[in-house]
Amino acid sequence: MSDVTDDAKLLSDAENSPTTAPETPEPLKPQVTRTLWGDAWYRLRRNKLALVALTWLLIVIVAAVTADLWVIPLYGPPNYINTQTAAADRLEPPSIHHPMGTDDLGRDVFSRVVYGARISLTVGVAAVLVSVVIGLLLGALSGYYGKFVDTTIMRIADIFLAFPYILFAILLLSVLPPSERGMFPVIVTIGVLGWPSIARVFRSSILSVKEADYVEAGRAVGASDARLMARHILPNAVAPIIVYATMSIGGAILTEAALSFLGLGVQADPVKAPNAVSWGRMISDGQNYLMSNPGLIVWPGLAILTTVLAFTLLGDGVRDALDVKMKD
Amino acid sequence: MGELIKVRGLTKHFPIHQGVFSRNSGKVYAVDGVDFEVNQGETLGLVGESGSGKSTTGRMLIRLIEPTAGTIVFDGKDALSLKGRDLQAYRRQVQFIFQDPYASLNPRMTIGEIVGEPLAIHKVGTRVEQTKRVKELLDVVGLNPEHVNRYPHEFSGGQRQRIGIARALALNPKLIVADEPVSALDVSIQAQVLNLLDELQTQFDLTYLFIAHDLSVVQHISDRVAVMYLGKLVEVADWKQLYSEPNHPYTQSLLSAVPVPDPKVQRERVRILLPGDPPSPIDPPTGCRFHTRCPIVQLPLCADSDPELREVAPGHRAACHFAKPFPIDIDVVKASV
Amino acid sequence: MAEHKLLEVTDLRMHFFTRDGVVKAVDGVSYDLDRGETLGVVGESGSGKSVSAMTLMRLIPMPPGKIVGGEAMFRGNSLLTMSDRDMRDIRGNEIAMIFQDPMTSLNPVYRIGKQLGEPLRLHKGMNKKQAQERAVELLDLVGIPHASSRVKDYPHQFSGGMRQRVMIAMALANDPDILIADEPTTALDVTIQAQIIELMEELQQRTGAAIIMITHDLGVVADMADRILVMYAGRAVEYGTVDEVFYRPMHPYTWGLMDSLPRHDMTEKGELCPIKGQPPSLIHVPAGCSFHPRCPYAKERCRIEEPPLRAVEGSHLAACHFAGDSDFSRDELECAGVSA
What distances in angstroms separate CA B71 from CA B68, B319, B324, one per listed residue?
10, 20, 30
Q: Is the pLDDT at B24 greater than 70, yes or no? A: no
Which chains border B (3 or more CB–CB pairs < 8 Å)?
A: A, C
pLDDT for C335: 62
pLDDT tens digits for range A284-304: 888 888 888 888 889 899 999
pLDDT bracket for residue B173 (50, 70, 90): very high
- Which amino acid would we find at residue A40? A
Number of neighbouring beta carbons within 10 Å of residue B280: 12
Q: Which residues contact A310 (CB under 8 A, 6 or more apart)?
A: A53, A54, A56, A57, A60, A250
Extract the residue ranges of chain C whose pLDDT is less than 50: 1, 337-340
pLDDT for A7: 35
Which chains border A (3 or more CB–CB pairs < 8 Å)?
A: B, C
Per-domain residue ranges for chain A?
1-33, 36-326
Residue of A36, A220, A328 with shortest CB distance to B96: A220
- Which amino acid would we find at residue C181? A
DSSP 8-state symbol, B223: S
Decide if C161 and B277 are in contact by the 8 Å CB cutoff.
yes
Q: Which helix (H) or strand (E) holds C200?
A: helix C190-207
pLDDT for C93: 86
Tell me the shortest Cα–Cα distance from A148 to chain C, in angstroms. 31
Tell me the shortest Cα–Cα distance from C260 to chain B, in angstroms. 5
CATH level 2 (architecture), domain A36-326: Orthogonal Bundle (1.10)
pLDDT for C266: 67
- Strands C77-78, C65-74: pairing is antiparallel
In angstroms, the CA C269 to CA B240 distance is: 9
In angstroms, the CA B116 to CA B167 distance is: 7
Chain B residues inside the 8 Å CB shell of C275: 188, 191
Residue of A18, A23, A24 with shortest CB distance to C339: A18
In angstroms, the CA C29 to CA C80 distance is: 14
What distances in angstroms separate CA A151 from CA A159, A240, B18, B19, C113, one per listed residue?
12, 22, 14, 12, 41
In angstroms, the CA A124 to CA B118 distance is: 43
Decide if A24 and C281 are in contact by the 8 Å CB cutoff.
no
Per-domain residue ranges for chain C?
102-173, 248-332
Residue of B215, B240, B335 with shortest CB distance to C198: B335
Provide, rounded to the nearest whole percent, the portion of chain A with pLDDT above 90: 20
Q: Which helix (H) or strand (E) holds C39?
A: strand C38-42
In angstroms, the CA A170 to CA C129 distance is: 61
Asked if omega into B307 is within 30° of 0 (cis), the reply is no
Q: Is the pLDDT at B331 greater than 50, yes or no? A: no
pLDDT for A17: 31
Q: Is the pLDDT at A11 greater than 50, yes or no? A: no
Least confident of A90-99, A200-209, C330-339: C330-339
Residue of A8, A34, A214 with shortest CB distance to B105: A214
Where are any strands of DSSP class E within B40-124?
Answer: 43-47, 69-74, 77-78, 94-97
Contact C185, C56 (CB under 8 A): no
Q: What is the mean pLDDT of residues B42-61?
A: 93
DSSP 3-state helix, strand, coil percentages of chain A (rounded to 5)? 75, 0, 25
pLDDT for B332: 36
Q: Is the pLDDT at A268 greater than 80, yes or no? A: no
In angstroms, the CA B191 to CA C260 distance is: 5
pLDDT for A157: 92
Q: Residue B142's closest chain A neighbor by CA?
A: A16
Decide if A13 and C292 are in contact by the 8 Å CB cutoff.
no
pLDDT bracket for residue B202 (50, 70, 90): very high
Q: What is the mean pLDDT of residues B165-176?
A: 94
Q: Is the pLDDT at A186 greater than 70, yes or no? A: yes
Decide if A16 and B153 are in contact by the 8 Å CB cutoff.
no
DSSP 8-state symbol, A230: I
Which chains border C (3 or more CB–CB pairs < 8 Å)?
A: A, B
pLDDT tens digits for range A119-168: 889 999 999 999 999 999 999 889 888 888 999 999 999 988 888 878 88
In angstroms, the CA A185 to CA A130 distance is: 12
